[in-house]
Every structure is written in structure tokens, then in C-alpha cells.
A and B are shown apart, each in its own frame.
Chain A
Amino acid sequence: MPRRPDIKKVLLIGSGPIQIGQAAEFDFSGSQACKSLREEGVEVVLVNSNPATIMTDPDMADKVYIEPLVPEIVAKIIEKERPDGIIAGIGGQTGLNITSELAEMGVLERYNVEVLGTKVRSIQEAEDRDLFKKAMERIGEPVPRSIAVTSLEEAEEAMKELGLPLIVRPAYTLGGSGGGIARTREDLMRICEMGLKRSRIHQVLLEESVIGWTEVEYEVMRDSNNTCITICNMENMDPMGIHTGESIVVTPIQTLSDHEIQMLRSAAINIIRALGIEGGCNIQFAVRNGEYRVIEVNPRVSRSSALASKATGYPIARVTAKIAIGLTLDEIRNDVTKETPASFEPTVDYVVIKIPRWPFDKFVKADRTLTTSMKSTGEVMAIGRSYEEALMKAIRSLDIDIDLGYNGKYTPWSDEDVRELLRTPTDERLFAIYQALRRGFSVDEISQLSMIDPYFIERIQNIIQMEDELKKGLTPDRLRRAKRMGFLDSRIAELVGLSREEVTDYRLSLGIIPTYKMVDTCAAEFAASTPYYYSTYDEECELSPSDKKKVLILGSGPIRIGQGIEFDYCTVHAVTALREMGIEAHIINNNPETVSTDYDTSDKLFFEPVTLEDVMNVIEKENYWGVMVQFGGQTAVNLAVPLERELKRRGLKTVILGTSPDSIDIAEDRERFNKLLNSLGIPQPRAGIAYSPEEAKKVAKEIGYPVLVRPSYVLGGRAMEIVYDESGLELYMREAVRVSHEHPVLIDDFLQNAVEIDVDAVCDGRDVLIGAIMEHIEEAGIHSGDSACMIPPQTLPEDVVATAKDYVRRIALALGVRGIINIQMAYKDGVVYVLEANPRSSRTIPFVSKAVGLPLAKIAAKVMAGMTLREMNLNVEPEIPYVAVKEVLLPFDKLPGADVLLGPEMRSTGEVMGIDYNMGLSFFKAEMSAENSLPLDGIVFISVRDEDKAEMAEVARRLASAGLKIIATDGTSEYLRRAGVPAERVRKIYNGSPNVLDYIRRGEVKLIINTPTTKQSVRDGFQIRRSAVDYHVPYITTVQAAKAAAEAIEKALKGELTIKALDEYHREVRYRSL
């Protein structure tokens, strides 16, 4: 069937901010869908609250709305844009849920909007546990016995029938959030209570346990003519019981026979037909000894489909979008071969391994156990021609400074520790398997303890054998085999007792160099032209380097806290910029979720780890003019100096483009940076550097407490802390860092109650383009990545803004920046202090770019490639008549046990943007997008520390006069009453029931304002904040945010939210010439 002529305009819903369980994969799928639809002449209207996405770039869709993803707002956009259809399955669970809600509200019917592709009924049948079970029974597909319950009483009854353990799965949630495994009745009640709360339809499923079975997945597609194909199958190394997003996943299936693989494939096709899905879907099975159960179906593109697309080269989202507008699979061309249609099944001639990236380095107190809920923030993928090669590449792609030999962080694991780590799955289990093998545990014992198939354990055993062989001495044969297994030169050097350089030189002298093979969907059966490559040590290299001017852009690897999708956004922009200049742009990256690793984003894609050796290998083959390290976050920046050294050492002409590695070092090295600021006469907080704990105490005393301490070279504020006295400092030095001569500790004066200022700018060595001055809402000391901020500044005096701009210009020019620079400052008592300068793209680049309508990353890339700002007519300063607010999304609801306080350590996973004509409305939208909707009526609970009470009384007064009811604990309520604000008193938790927790549990509180009592989270405050998270009550933990909230509520009560597309806002920007 050709594409439907009646579909002229389509609404696409994005997935909102990056969060655990919903990461960059939906930017990838959304961007593909946009391109795919526009190729067919369909007008695309896009809505997403996340500015750090390629899909929200003004030129991706015909109309882009950066607005909260709530049905009421999307309904307004529909009213304004009148699309003919809406595609539900592109924007993850968020997109699916909103589409269902719009249908229930009657909005789709009212405006005659057709749900394209998979229909609402199919979505419901796949998502509603009970309906799904019935559907499976109808077509004879086996499912685990299960009962859907809507109350704790029903859960108790179900338990009697099914026995324990039981798997608890809430309906309609992200990444299995709110689910878990109940081994006891108490477990069951606790998990069910939470799960019921989280489920959009207040329903959870209790299910017979298939824990320990092999978990496999199929990516399946169907078109309206009933043609069904499977894109790939995947096997989870971790058995059933661990969410697939938390599992190490291999494609294709490794341990099943063709008979079993085809049995499951047939079942998958049976299921997609029965559900009537049109487009892509993901089906999960549990398998054991030839028997299987259908576990679940995701009736949409997903994290797994992104992985499947990257693993095979088959663009699932692109094809799904075309199916949605009526095309059939045989009418869609396979973009990879250009000859064959999309109605075929990819076959691969390599192995793909995915490993999740967990945030436990940031949340040391969070429970590291892997369960049926997701905790990881991102993932890496690696391709190899052997299992071992793919595994070793994946591990180094994680960028965690850990190789297989990892043996506990501070103290080596005991045998019992290892046993426990095998028994209880955590992020460290891969390393525990290695340790167990090293200690002589048998493969069977490891397999029994971990329930992991012995096949995967023996693969690691193979690696150990190779290590042992290498230890006997380096021979050409051993070196060749080790490289084929994926060993890095540096690891080989360690094992044979040589330097990394010696091993590399020896290897090169033997001509042992990687070959690059193409990912072509068809195992070389057809000639393909996809510029998508991976390395392996084989005979024939398939690269044919052009002699054009070429640049390699280093990607940022897996999404993690502190290094998110923003860097991928910048990477993609750099490519576009270079291509516009006629320069060939290549990418090296390893994150399967992203747009940068889409095969048609760059001129060549190298799906590789981003390490010195892997990058050098590519450079040597392609012979680049230059390398760009500014866009790939700290991962790439950290390579600047070693890369430059290695390029010189090997006599290669390739240069690091933009700001020189030495200038980068000046900015990153505290001592050198301090000297620079002193010479410029720019104030900075008093600071010192310490190479030993004793020295640290001395320095801190000189500066005066409180001080901000951190190790040098940090990412996302890792291990950064505010220390209030000497005992706190001692604790920090003992527990948080290992200080040494190479790794000193930095100690800064902590500026209490200062306003933080963030600036992103581009410098070409002569002029400086300041994208925006951002004023933070939270005070300095809260990590800038976690703070909400506003463009333009709302409270800063004019002269302060002018000073800030002046400092930015002078620092950028003094550092000789060519490209991007981000500078953080603090304003206190009339003085602007410079805190740090990062000569690389920052988290805020996409936010600023979208707020002021200037693609800063793209401009920076052009500058790095030799253009000047004047040539681009960009010697200007943008001014906007509206307000853009950035707010962050915090992952606490996904990490049981973690405290929800903000501090100098970054915690957030993603961000949203609110845009409107005053600060109140913009902040209101931003909070709504960050799943922290401010109430317009109902009860607000306030409990604040003494220092904050005066300011909070003002906030409370405004909230009360806006019609909200205030409740507060003893001290706060007393204070408020004396200040003339009506506030009802509620008991503190330790004073017994009914206390504030009861209010929260009953869902009566609509907003919680709680500031921490001391630097330590006192039990009461912790419980209140934690239950706010657990029961999804919006909460605020700083006075500044509370003030902004009061402003927002007042404005939202008075005014209408503006619904306007981004290009309409951008038309109002004034660019003042300098």
C-alpha cells in the first residue's frame, strides 16, 4: 500500500528528560522518525520538554514545541496545530501514556486526530497485564501464571494461590519502576504498595517466578499488510529476575539451538500478529530446557530497539514511522544496501555486547542490587568478531577506569565477598566472575551461585588463560591472539612488564593492526555503502579513506550522571558544521542509544571505545587533518593531552583542533588556572591545593571553614563536598579520596548564599560570542548541573552582568580558546568570583542554543575548523524578550535508599526547559516538565531550618494568599503564625501518628518544602523527603526554589500559559552588534 495521501501533518511526542529507564534512545528514534516522515512529504509537529535533544532542533521538524509533556498541554498544541495523525510508539512510555490519556480525554476524537501505527487498543492489550494474559491464552502462547491486583488485600489472596517468590510488575511504568521480587509476605506488601502508587492505572501484576531462566528478546516489526519480520534476537547474560535494561545483553542469542531460536521467533510473530501492532515492538521470553514463557511485550520502539538498530544496521524507528503512514515493508527501501527492500531480516557476522552504565559512583549509599527495576543511566555497546573481543571493548567503553581485574574499590574482596557478589547481582558481578575464576572457583560453582549460563563464564575463563599465557612472555603469536581477543596494548604491557609504548611499537613493527569491517545488515551478502564500521584484528580492512580534508570527532560514550545527552547533541552539531564547510566528519563513539551513532549522521561512524589506543588506531588509518575533543564531555577532553603526545611520538600530522591541549590543561589544572586569574586581576574564592591530609588541614584553616573540597580532574563534581569543620575534613580525606602527589586535593573557600552564574561562550581568538548569562536559582554550592537556571538573569544587577561578560571575554582570550568555553561564577556582596572555566562544551549548550536561537556547538565547530565569528556575522550579543528556565530531573525515585538532597555532587540525570513570557510561568512549566508539578490549590507542607525561616515566612505568605493551605511542624508553624501566616500544626514523625507522613501517604499534600537541618540529613527530614519521592509528591529543598515556586504559582493562577513553537520565539530574539 502506498503512503496514505490523507495524512499531511503528524504530531510526534518525545519522551521528555533523560531519566533512569528512558534515556537518549528516544532522541534517536524521534529524530529518525522526523527525518523519515519528512522524506515522505509529511509535515511534522514535535513536542518534547527536553532541550538537549537533536529532535528538538528547529530544523528537525516543521514545528518544534518545547513544552511540558502533560496531556493538557499537548491537547492545546493539537488544538493549535490540527494534525491529521499522532504516532504513539516513538516517544517511549511517555509518548504511549500521553496518547492513551488524550484518547481517554476525548481530545483525539474532538480534533479528528487519528492514532497512526499501533492503535490505542493494541497498546492497551500489550500493556494491561490482564488483557495481555488473556490475549496470550487466546492464541495459545504460554505465560507465567499470574494475577493482576489493584489492592493489597487482593495481593494477599493472590499470594495464597501462586506461592512465593513472586514478581511484582506495575502496569504502565517506565523501566519497571516500582516493581521487584517478593520473597516474603512483608516484601510483597511493601513492593505492592509502592507499585500500585506508581502505576498509572493503579494495578500491579503478581507473577509466578521464572527467576534463573534464560531471558531472551526479539525485536519484531509488522506492517498493515501483516508482513512480519524479526530484526534481531538478544540473549541476556543475566538470567530472569534482572531487568533487561540492567543486564549484559548479547546479540545474537549465544546458548540456544536453532530449533529453540525458531520456536521463539515463531511465537514472536504469532504475538505481534495477535496484538495487531503496526511498527516495531519488543517481546521478551524466559527459556529453560526447551520450554518457554512469554514475559512481556513493549508495543513501541524502545531501548532494546535502539540497540537492535545499532547492532544490525536496521533503522527500526525510521521504518516504524513509514509503516505508520501506510507504507508496507516491501515498499520501503533498505537504506543500507540501497538495493533490497526493508522486508528482510538482518543477519550479522559479528557479536554485539551491551553493558549498562550504573550511577553507583555517585550514589554510594544507594542499594547496588540489580532487580526488575532499572537503576542504570545509560549503556555501551561493542562489536567484535569474537565474544571476548566484544566483551573487552564494551568494558573499556564504560569509561570507569576499571578492567576485568577489578577487585573491590578499597580493600580486595575476600573469597566470601566474591561468593556473595555472585549470589546477589550488582553492577560488579562481571568483575566478581573474573575474581572467582582467578581464585580457582569452578565454572559450575560460579554458574550455580550466579545462575549465569556456564558459556558466558567460560568465555571469561578464556581471557584469563590468555592473560596467563602473556605472562610467560610476549611472542608474535600470543600478541596476535591477544589482540584478536580484544586486549589493549596497555593491558598487555601490564601483563608482560613492558611499557605501553613498547608494546605498541612492537605490535606495529609486526604489522599487527586492526582491520575495520562494515555493519551492513546482511553479512556481506550484498554490497553496501553504509559508512558504519567496527574494528577487529582480521585480514582485510574494508575502509577506503578519501583524500578529502577530514576530521574525527570524539564522542562522549555512555550516558551517566554528569555526562549526558547534551554531549551527544554537541557531537552531532559538530558534524553538521563540518559538513557545511565541506569537510568530511567522522565520529568515534560507543553509545547505542544516541543520534551521533546513527549510521547516517556522519560521513563515517566508528563504533568503538573512546580510549587512546582505539582513537589512535582510527587516526592512523584515516590520516585526519584534525581531531575534535571539545564535544565529547570529559571522556574526550581527558584524551587531549595524551593524544597530542602520542601523535607526536608516532610522527603523525593530525592535530587537535581548537583550544590547545596546553590551554585545556591550564583550565583544568587548579594551580595554573589560579595563576592565570591572578594575572588578569579577576577575583576567585580563596583556594589552596594539598598533597597530603596534613597539608589539607593547614590549607583549610588558612582559608576558613566552610570549604569546598574535591580531587583534581573531576567529572560532574565527583567526590566533591562542602566541609564545615576539621573533623568533617578528616572524614572526607579518609573516606572520599585517596590523596597523593599525582592526585592532589583542591580546597576552595565556600561562598555561602552566593548567586551562581553560568556562561557559555564561543571564542575564535579575537572575538567572543556570549550565548547567554545564566542565573542559577539554587545558591552556589549546589552542583551547577543540578541547579535550575534562567535566561536572562532575573535578580542580578546590570553591572554584575556586565562584569561577568567582561571576565568571560578576558579569560577566553587569555586562554587562547578556539571553540567553546563554559565559565562558572559566583556573585556575593558586590563581588563576582570566577569558580572555574571549562574549555569544552558544557551541559547547558543545548539549553542556551535553544533559548537564544544560536547553535553554539555548531558555531564552535566552525571556529575550530578555521572560520571566524565575523565571517559568520556573529560578532553579536543575543537578547531575548522571554524567559527560559532549565530545571533538572533527579533519579531518586529509581534509587531506593538514596537521600534526595542536592549538594556539590551532581545527581540529576536529565533536564527540561520551560519557556514563556515571565519567570513565574517559565518556572511553572519547567517544574511541570520535571515531574514536579506545582499545585494551584491544596495543602503545602513546610518544614525548614532556622536560618531559612525568615525568608520562608514570605514564601508561605504568598502561597497562602494564592489560596493554598499551609501545614507545618512545630517550630516552623509557630514561626509562621507569629509572622502572621496561617499554618496548621502537624506532628513530627517521632511524635507518633497522625504525623506528616500520614498526610503524604494519604496523598493529601500537594507540595513539600523541606530544607535540611544541618549538612547531615537528619532522620526526620530524610524520611519526609524520601516519602515525597516514593509517593510522587512534588518537593523543594532550597529557599531559592521555594521563592521561585511561589512566584510561579501566583503567575500561573493569574495568567495563561503561552503555547508557541520555538521558531516563533526565535523570531523575537534581537542580536545586538558589538
Chain B
Amino acid sequence: MIGVLGLEDGTLVEGYGFGAPGIVTGEIVFTTVMSGYEEALTDPSYNGQILLFTYPLQGNYGVSGDEFQSDRMWPRGMVCRHIWPSPKHHRSTRTLAEFLVDEGRPGIHGVDTRMLTVKIRRLGAMKAALAVGESVVRGIDIVQLARDQPSISSLDLLSEVTCRSPYRIRGSGPRLAVIDLGIKRHILKSLECRGFDLHVLPAHSSISDIEAVEPDGLFISNGPGDPERAVSAIEAVRHFAGSMPIFGICLGHQVISLALGARTFKLKFGHHGGNQPVKDLESGIVYITSQNHNFAVVPESVEGTDLEITQLNANDGTVEGIRSRYLKILAVQYHPEAHPGPMCTEDPFFSSVLKIASGGD
């Protein structure tokens, strides 16, 4: 099966198609994780994007379903150098290509992914289009298709990824209202295994919706796109700051920052990978973290707010953690729940969340 990929800068590459034939458009980003395609492809934060894997061999251990971070695949398409058709891992139930077929999403392999990565690094995340299948590709101007799509910031990605209605995961510990901006399953697992009583609420929940569950704390999840679009969540944080502890991961971290007066900006091509170093300013320890974000908090804008920066990215100095002892706020830009990626920060972060939510500091 043929596949073609076009980028807004005019790049056109041909490779082998896999997954479901069809055409998709989206913003192309690359991730540098060497394993964890199952987790990455089901991460709702990739909604609206076409995901390129820099590691060339994908699909080696098949797809198990055990590590899904949501019910479905979110990137609109997948780009890689090779896919492996015959996984033998003991938990594998289908091949990666079969998974894409089941999800109705196209993929392309056999292309020079490193060349594409270098382009994205130089020019920034770009609009892209992917077409797969002989009849689909015929006569198509894939570069034009890439250019013709709307900008990702103009899309309402949140309402696609958030839960339709509230649900509860019962626990005997403190009660958290979790605002689902596209939450990864492992965040819920990390909270659940620490005994939290979780009320998961849709992205656009109002102040009264949140008050209705009588939470001990508020938790803002990860999610796709520009944090400024998470209007209700920003409002909720502003409203509850000071009256209950507030926590956040990734998009949640940006939402909290915006709510308290800091600003955010879009990174050139984001951080997507499992090797981002984060320095904890108090202990001096550098943790290796899993990350997936395109926006970040402007460091200088934190000054003068009630927040303090607790952690910084050791590579580029972007804000990785914020805190307010007084307001009982704690949030991180990276993904302590990992999946995919290293687990070093799972316990430090979620144990702190438990401590603060339980009344400690």
C-alpha cells in the first residue's frame, strides 16, 4: 500500500502505507520515546496531531490493550521508519498495523523520519497531511491539503477528548474533583492506588458542578492544545484557589498558571519524549521525565503571582513545576504517571499530592 505525507513547507515524501486507508490532516510533531507506542497513540493530548516516532522500529511487541491511556487512538496518523508485522510478546493481542486499522487511522512507514525530524526542529511543528491507499493517493495534492487546514489553536480539541458525563472512582481517602481535559488513564491509576475518592468531571464543568461533589481538592488533568481554550478550568482554578488544594499535570499545570496570572507560550516543536531532564530546585536532583506538550509557562510571568517555580527543565530552562505553599497548589509540566517513559517522579509527585490533599504541606 502506498502512503504520502505532505508538510506545509512543501516537503513531500512517499512511503508504504499501513493501517486504515484514508486522508488525515493535523499538526506533525515528533516523539523521541524508544518504546511505548501503545501508550503514546492512546494519549488524548495528541488529539489533532500526526505523530512521528524518531525511533525507527515500531510495533515490535505488538499491542496488548493493557497500557491504553484512553479508549482509542488520538493522533490522526502515525509516521515511522519501519513497522514489525509479527510480534510475539506474551501480552500482544494484535499487530500495530491491525490496531490502526481497528482505529480507522492511517500510518506511513519506510520514510526518512530523521530528515522530517530535523525539518520540524528547524521550522517548528508544522501543518501536515497524510494519505494512504492507492486509490486515495491518486491525483492528490497532499502539500496543498496540509496547507489548507485550520491552525491547531483554533480547534476545539477539548470537547473531543473529555468525558461526556461525570463518573466516580471510589476511594477511602481525600476526595478530588478531577477536571478531565483528556486525562490519561495512568493519572487516575496513580491517584486511585493512593486511595483518593475521585469524581471525574467534563472539561466544561461549572463552579457549581464542582461544588456539587464536595471535593477536598481540585485536580486539573493533561490534555491537548492551547491552555487558553480551557476556559472553564481556568475559571474553576481562579475560584477555588485558596479554598481547597489544587493540583495539575501538563495542560493542568498551564491552566493553573494562567488562572493565577502567569502567561503561556507555544514552544517551537514542543517536548515529546521520555528523556527530558527536570531539575528540582530544592534538592538539586535531576529527574528524567516523560513529556508531551507544545505550550509552556513563561518563567518571568510567574514572578509577582502567588506561585513559585519549584522545578526547571535542565535542557531549555522551561518551567516544569510550580507551587504555592500558602494556597496549597502543586503542579508539574511533565507526566509523573509516565506511560510511556520513566517512572522516577511518580512517587515524589503523587505522594506529595496525597500529603497536601490530606491537610499537610
A526 to B120, CA, bound (A): 11
Contact indicator B57/A386 (Cβ below 8 Å): yes
A542 to B114, CA, bound (A): 10
Contact indicator A257/B114 (Cβ below 8 Å): no
> Which of A328, A455, A524 contacts B117 (CB under 8 A)?
A524
Q: Given A265-B342, A344-B288, answer yes or no on A257-B34 (Cβ-Cβ < 8 Å).
A: no
A257 to B38, CA, bound (A): 9
> Which of A259, A458, A524, A538 contacts B67 (CB under 8 A)?
A259
- Partner-binding segment picked from A205-213, A222-230, A849-857, A1061-1069: A222-230
Count chain B residues whose beta carbon lies closer than 8 angstroms to a beta carbon of A.
56
Q: Which residue of B lies closest to A266 (CB)?
A: B343
- Partner-binding segment picked from B147-155, B275-283, B301-309: B275-283
Chain B residue numbers with a CB within 8 Å of A350 are 56
Contact indicator A349/B67 (Cβ below 8 Å): no
Contact indicator B34/A252 (Cβ below 8 Å): yes
Contact indicator A258/B33 (Cβ below 8 Å): yes
Q: Which residue of A lies closest to B315 (CB)?
A: A340
Min CB distance, A226 to chain B, in Å? 6
Is A539 an interface residue when CB atoms closer than 8 A count as contact?
A: yes
Is B164 an interface residue when CB atoms closer than 8 A count as contact?
A: no
Contact indicator B32/A525 (Cβ below 8 Å): yes
| A230-259 interface (Cβ within 8 A of B) | 230, 252-259
> Of A252, A265, A345, A526, which is in contact with the most chain B CB atoms at under 10 Å from its CB?
A345
Contact indicator A257/B67 (Cβ below 8 Å): yes
> Which of A229, A255, A340 contacts B288 (CB under 8 A)?
A229
Contact indicator B339/A258 (Cβ below 8 Å): yes
> Which of B30, B35, B86, B314 contacts A458 (CB under 8 A)?
B86
Chain A residue numbers with a CB within 8 Å of B288 are 229-230, 344-345
Min CB distance, A956 to chain B, in Å? 65
Contact indicator A540/B35 (Cβ below 8 Å): no
Count chain A residues whose beta carbon lies closer than 8 angstroms to a beta carbon of B.
55
A226 to B340, CA, bound (A): 23
A524 to B82, CA, bound (A): 18
Q: Which residue of A lies closest to B53 (CB)?
A: A349
Chain A residue numbers with a CB within 8 Å of B66 are 259
Min CB distance, A288 to chain B, in Å? 9
Chain B positions 37 through 70: 1 when the CB is less than 8 Å from some CB of chain A, otherwise 0: 0110000000000000011110011001011000
A330 to B344, CA, bound (A): 17
Min CB distance, B80 to chain A, in Å? 10
Is B327 an interface residue when CB atoms closer than 8 A count as contact?
A: no
| A523-562 interface (Cβ within 8 A of B) | 523-527, 538-540, 542
> Which of A229, A255, A265, A330 contacts B279 (CB under 8 A)?
A330
Contact indicator B91/A257 (Cβ below 8 Å): yes
Contact indicator A538/B90 (Cβ below 8 Å): no
Contact indicator A523/B117 (Cβ below 8 Å): yes
Contact indicator A256/B275 (Cβ below 8 Å): no
Is A290 an interface residue when CB atoms closer than 8 A count as contact?
A: yes
Contact indicator A523/B54 (Cβ below 8 Å): yes
In the complex, how many residue pairs between chain A and chain B have their CB atoms under 8 Å apart? Answer: 164
Q: Given A386-B56, A539-B13, answer yes or no on A523-B32 (Cβ-Cβ < 8 Å).
A: yes
A269 to B86, CA, bound (A): 32
Q: Given A255-B60, A351-B56, A385-B81, answer yes or no on A346-B275 (Cβ-Cβ < 8 Å).
A: yes
Contact indicator B275/A344 (Cβ below 8 Å): yes
Contact indicator A345/B275 (Cβ below 8 Å): yes
Min CB distance, A1036 to chain B, in Å? 53
Contact indicator B89/A347 (Cβ below 8 Å): no
Q: Given A386-B56, A540-B112, answer yes or no on A257-B89 (Cβ-Cβ < 8 Å).
A: yes
Chain B positions 285 through 316: 1 when the CB is less than 8 Å from some CB of chain A, otherwise 0: 11110000000000000000000000000110
Q: Given A225-B284, A386-B82, A525-B273, answer yes or no on A258-B114 (Cβ-Cβ < 8 Å).
A: no
A675 to B91, CA, bound (A): 71
Min CB distance, B68 to chain A, in Å? 12
A375 to B22, CA, bound (A): 54
Contact indicator A347/B57 (Cβ below 8 Å): no
Chain B residue numbers with a CB within 8 Å of A515 are 112
Min CB distance, B53 to chain A, in Å? 9
Is A894 an interface residue when CB atoms closer than 8 A count as contact?
A: no
> Of B13, B55, B56, B66, which is in contact with the most chain A CB atoms at under 10 Å from its CB?
B56
Min CB distance, A374 to chain B, in Å? 28
Q: Given A525-B273, A540-B115, answer yes or no on A347-B55 (Cβ-Cβ < 8 Å).
A: yes
Contact indicator B286/A262 (Cβ below 8 Å): no
| A332-355 interface (Cβ within 8 A of B) | 339-341, 343-351
Is A289 an interface residue when CB atoms closer than 8 A count as contact?
A: yes
Min CB distance, B302 to chain A, in Å? 21
> Of A226, A343, A453, which is in contact with the most chain B CB atoms at under 10 Å from its CB?
A343
Chain A residue numbers with a CB within 8 Å of B1 are none
> Which of B30, B64, B87, B118 contacts A540 (CB under 8 A)?
B118
Is A454 an interface residue when CB atoms closer than 8 A count as contact?
A: yes
Min CB distance, B182 to chain A, in Å? 20
Chain A residue numbers with a CB within 8 Å of B67 are 257-259
Is A517 an interface residue when CB atoms closer than 8 A count as contact?
A: yes
A328 to B283, CA, bound (A): 12
Contact indicator A256/B88 (Cβ below 8 Å): no
Is B274 an interface residue when CB atoms closer than 8 A count as contact?
A: yes
A226 to B287, CA, bound (A): 10
Min CB distance, B277 to chain A, in Å? 4
Is A863 an interface residue when CB atoms closer than 8 A count as contact?
A: no
Is B26 an interface residue when CB atoms closer than 8 A count as contact?
A: no
Contact indicator B315/A257 (Cβ below 8 Å): no
Chain B residue numbers with a CB within 8 Å of A458 are 86
Min CB distance, B255 to chain A, in Å? 26
Chain A residue numbers with a CB within 8 Å of B34 are 252, 347-348
Contact indicator B61/A349 (Cβ below 8 Å): no
Is B36 an interface residue when CB atoms closer than 8 A count as contact?
A: yes
Is B113 an interface residue when CB atoms closer than 8 A count as contact?
A: yes
Is A812 an interface residue when CB atoms closer than 8 A count as contact?
A: no
Chain A residue numbers with a CB within 8 Å of B355 are none
Is B223 an interface residue when CB atoms closer than 8 A count as contact?
A: no
> Of A340, A351, A525, which is in contact with the most chain B CB atoms at under 10 Å from its CB?
A525
Min CB distance, B226 to chain A, in Å? 22
A262 to B342, CA, bound (A): 6
Contact indicator A540/B277 (Cβ below 8 Å): no
Is B341 an interface residue when CB atoms closer than 8 A count as contact?
A: yes
Chain A residue numbers with a CB within 8 Å of B284 are 225, 227, 328, 330
Chain B residue numbers with a CB within 8 Å of A7 are none
Chain B residue numbers with a CB within 8 Å of A385 are 56, 81-82, 114
Contact indicator B117/A349 (Cβ below 8 Å): yes
> Which of B277, B339, B340 contacts A344 (CB under 8 A)?
B277
Chain A residue numbers with a CB within 8 Å of B118 are 524, 540, 542
Chain B residue numbers with a CB within 8 Å of A265 are 342-343
Is A329 an interface residue when CB atoms closer than 8 A count as contact?
A: yes
A604 to B39, CA, bound (A): 38
Is A431 an interface residue when CB atoms closer than 8 A count as contact?
A: no
> Which of B88, B287, B314, B340 contacts A255 (CB under 8 A)?
B88
Contact indicator B121/A524 (Cβ below 8 Å): yes
Min CB distance, A535 to chain B, in Å? 13
Q: Given A256-B35, A259-B66, answer yes or no on A347-B117 (Cβ-Cβ < 8 Å).
A: no
Task: List 9 contacting pairs A-B, 8 Å CB cutoff, sorted by A.
Answer: A225-B285, A254-B57, A258-B39, A330-B284, A341-B314, A343-B286, A350-B56, A515-B112, A522-B32
Further 8 A-B residue pairs, CB within 8 A, beyond A344-B288, A538-B115: A225-B285, A262-B343, A330-B277, A348-B34, A349-B56, A525-B273, A527-B121, A540-B115
* 9 residue pairs, one from A and one from B, having the closest CB atoms: A258-B36, A540-B115, A539-B112, A345-B275, A523-B54, A343-B286, A258-B35, A538-B112, A524-B117
- Seen from chain B, the residues whose Cβ lies within 8 Å of a Cβ on chain A are 13, 30, 32-36, 38-39, 54-57, 60-61, 64, 66-67, 81-82, 84, 86-91, 111-115, 117-118, 121, 273-277, 279, 283-288, 314-315, 338-344
